[in-house]
Amino acid sequence: MLIGEHTHTLDSKKRLSLPSKFRKELGKTVVITKGLDSCLFVYSTKEWKKFSEKLGELSMGQGDTRAFTRYFMGGAAEVDIDSAGRILIPDFLKDLAHLQTKVMVVGIGTRVELWDEERWNTYQSELEKKADLVAEKLGDIGMI
């Protein structure tokens, strides 16, 4: 399981080192795609296959599902993890997530999220303010 948060540095060649415990679970090749909330999602090829199969099951007759599928599939790039444990982040994805020098590498169960450090800190601060409300909503649907 991919969990925890780590601060890593994006080098001048747009390479980012992944935590060693993440590399073991992700394998030698990953898929990076547009995420939500101004971050990037990183999947192992196994998890990407599962995710893309679910997207493929959505109705093509619905405009929202077509757009959602285009967003994730069209914005995806398959990337190899090099011998030093780094991935090369394509420019269009780096720019989309506003990644600067410091990047938060966050394990979210079956995927990794890549956040600009400042955006992550702002997001976390806002989330902490409304954590009780989120917990109540999850309680209403039986999650907690």
| CA angle at 31 for the pair 27 and 34, rounded to the nearest 5° | 145
pLDDT for 60 = 82
Residue-by-residue DSSP string for the chain: -EEEEEEEEB-TTSEEEPPHHHHHHH-SEEEEEE-SSS-EEEEEHHHHHHHHHHHHTS-TTSHHHHHHHHHHHHT-EEEE--TTSEEEPPHHHHHHTT--SEEEEEEEESSEEEEEHHHHHHHHHHHHHTHHHHHHHHHHTT--
Q: pLDDT tens per residue, the chain (144 residues)?
A: 999 999 999 999 999 999 999 999 999 999 999 999 999 999 999 999 999 999 888 888 888 889 999 999 999 999 999 999 999 999 999 999 999 999 999 999 999 999 999 999 999 999 888 888 888 887 888 877
The answer to whether the CB of 98 falls within 8 A of the CB of 116 is yes
pLDDT for 141 = 84
pLDDT for 56 = 84
pLDDT for 62 = 86
Delineate the domains of the chain, giving CATH numbers in brackets: 2-116 (3.40.1550.20)
Query: Per the confidence metrics, is the pTM higher than 0.85?
Result: yes
Burial string for 22-34 (b: 16+ CB within 10 Å, else e) reads bbebbeeebbbbb
Q: What is the pLDDT of residues 113-132, one digit of tens each?
A: 999 999 999 999 998 888 88
pLDDT for 89 = 97
